Structure 1
Amino acid sequence: MTNLRTAVRHGLLAVLVMLAFVPWAGAQQLGHYIGGFSGLDNGTSAPPGFYAAEFGLVEPVSSIKGPNGRTVLQPDINVGGAITAFSYISQKKILGGEYGMAFMVPVLNTRFNSNLFNKSAQSAGISDIMFEPVNLGWAKGAANYTLNYAFYAPTGDFDPSSPLNTGLGFWEHQVSGGMSLSLDKKKLWNASALTVWEFNHSKLGEDLKPGPIFTGEYSLGRRFFKYQMNAGLVGFASHKLSTDTGSAVSPLTKGYLDRGFGAGGEWKYTDIKHHLAYDVRFEQQYGVQLRTSGQVVVFSITYLKLTPPKPSK
């Protein structure tokens, strides 16, 4: 399940990020990843097997922040998303790590409610599809490591003149790497950290290229019920590394670097007997500049089909 979440964490919040670029509101263009989606064990790749998941998302956005972190708008924006994702981890090894891949299709339904929009304004459809052709995982004693490459294709509808789009309108490359660590001999207490690096192409039909973005995430959890449950605290920090470029960059945001922080909790349970895993995460955003700010609630059900290890000769 962790590997599938590693892949889907990039793509699920791709359906959210379309809210982060509202030119007339003073926000900047973010990438396809919003900090805070990965959580417990985010530095671990799953064992060999096939994984299929259905994710649900509810995200109320309460404010849009300006360059100094002050609220410039207080809209009532509600986002709902559904994600279908598949992941496969083989027993083949590359550089000593188990190799896997993933594919994700997000479907977005958004409704804006504020004095800036028609109350019936709505956008629904497939967002940008994510492919992860490289997922590598290593296990070394009490530590696990993961290194991944993914890219997004601009398959979602995008109109530069409209704030209601299911796609972002540009290709993106993502490289992520992380580590999970067991903190005690019984491997009950666990901590993890993940870094995500986004490199964006120019937007289609618009002279704007989003700057590269760095996101660092962390977690601290404890396992219960014979290691089937893991619960704990999660958080993130995200920052644009260089400014957006192009003639379409808003003069209100030109030269600024957006950022955001978040913290919350997560509960996950794996039912090996029935090949199912459940996950719920809530995070509150804070310290936001040039982005939307609110809460993120994500829940999922994953089907697990693990591959037994080959018998030793």
Structure 2
Amino acid sequence: MTLQHSFRLAALLGTTLAATPALAVNGHYVPGIEGLSAAAAPPAGLYYRAYLMRYDIDSFRDAKGDAAPGSNSGSVNALAHRFIWMTGKTFLGADYGVETIIPMLDVELDLDVAGRSFDDYGVGDVFVGPVILGWHGEQWDATFAAGHWFDTADFDADNPASAGKGYGTTMLTLGGMWHLDAKKTWNVSALSRYEVKTEQDDTGITPGDSWLVEWGIGHRLENGLELGLVGYDAWQLEADEGAATTAKAERHAIGVEAGYLWPSAGVMLKGAAYHEYDAEGGGLKGLESEGDAIRLQLTKFL
């Protein structure tokens, strides 16, 4: 592996949460930040949601899934602020809303493969979503959303821990949830994100399109506590245009989640832990991280 590839390997790592990390496969959105019931848009009103995430990198994997030589590790601590406004208006039979996400990152990488360590912290690239559409049936929910991650954060092509990515990303969202019983104590859900990127000005590389799915199987107990199995699968669908390699990244993880809603306080709290069991690197990064993530999610109905 060349030193140039080593510098690139984490240029996209942990740069923003989406809500943001476990780390994005090759775009802005980081899978694992939503979990159970993520595919159901909330009722009319204004919401604040905070995502606090810790991602510990155990190793970096190449295009064959093999670990890079040496001791390569790192961590990402991220806090993302998300504001959602469901307007009370409808469009195409769906509840209509808008959103924005402001992520804050602290990234540290210790890379034997590059012969040095890297770090950065600060505000990441900002997301603006002018479209949220939520449909609701007796035992099902469906959501479509569209928005753009703007290239607003600082980016250094020589620092793979940069808080910014150096390019923008248009993100399309589609998801659904099905309640398995009339009392809605059991549910299955899937939320997918498709990302299309712009050219990274500092390198002239345009990252390939990517697609990911977050899924969950949840059960709500009589006391209101919801428990479930969660996971995510993410794929880079196209090779990076202008890169030295045609390899494409991917990542897969499984985990558990618990959540509780306090209706009188207008507060919902969720916690989840994920283990990544497979990762393959490629494209702009050269390598893909593999590790474990812990997420806390606080939602306040304003």
Short-chain TM bin:
0.7 to 0.9
Indicate whether 1:94 and 2:69 are aligned: no
2:80 and 2:17 map into 1 onto residues whose CA distance is 10
* Sequence identity percentage: 23
* Gaps in structure 2 of 5+ consecutive residues: 1-15, 282-287
| 1:107 Cα deviation after fit | 0.8
> What displacement does 1:229 show?
2.6
**Partner residue of 2:278 out of 253, 264, 287:** 287
Say if 2:194 is the partner of 1:197.
yes
Please list the CA deviations of residues 2-38 of structure 1 after superposition, one character each: whole Å capped at 9, or x if unmatched: xxxxxx973323x944xx7xxxxxxxxx101233332
Q: CA offsets per residue over residues 237-258 of structure 1, 9 Å max, x none?
A: 1111111011xx2x3xx12221
Matches within 5 A, 1:1-313: 10-13=18-21, 16-17=23-24, 30-73=26-69, 74-115=71-112, 116=114, 118=116, 121-226=118-223, 228-246=224-242, 249=243, 251=244, 254-290=245-281, 291-305=288-302
> Do 1:35 and 1:262's aligned partners in 2 also have CA atoms closer than 8 Å?
no
Q: TM-score, normalised by structure 1?
A: 0.84
Letter in 1 for 2:226: N
Contact 2:17–2:79 under 8 Å retained in 1: no
Q: What is the CA-CA distance between 1:85 and the residue it aligns to? A: 1.7
Task: Classify 1:9/1:38 alpha carbon distance in 2 versus 1 (closer, same or farther; 3 Å).
Answer: farther
How many residues matched? 279
Q: CA separation in 1, counterparts of 2:30 and 2:100?
A: 18
Residue 162 of structure 1 deviates from its aligned partner by 1.9
Q: Is the 8 A contact 1:11 1:32 kept in 2?
A: no
Q: In the alignment, residue 240 of structure 1 is paired with which amino acid?
A: Q
State the TM-score, normalized to the length of structure 2.
0.87
CA distance in 2, matches of 1:179, 1:265: 20
CA gap of 1:193–1:32, structure 2 versus 1, over 3 A, is same
Distance 1:140 1:9, change over 3 A: farther
> 2:18, 2:80 within 8 Å by CA — same for their partners in 1?
no
Match of 1:23 in 2: none
Structure 1 alignment gaps of length 5 or more: 1-7, 21-29, 306-313
Q: What is the CA distance between 1:301 and its match in structure 2? A: 1.9
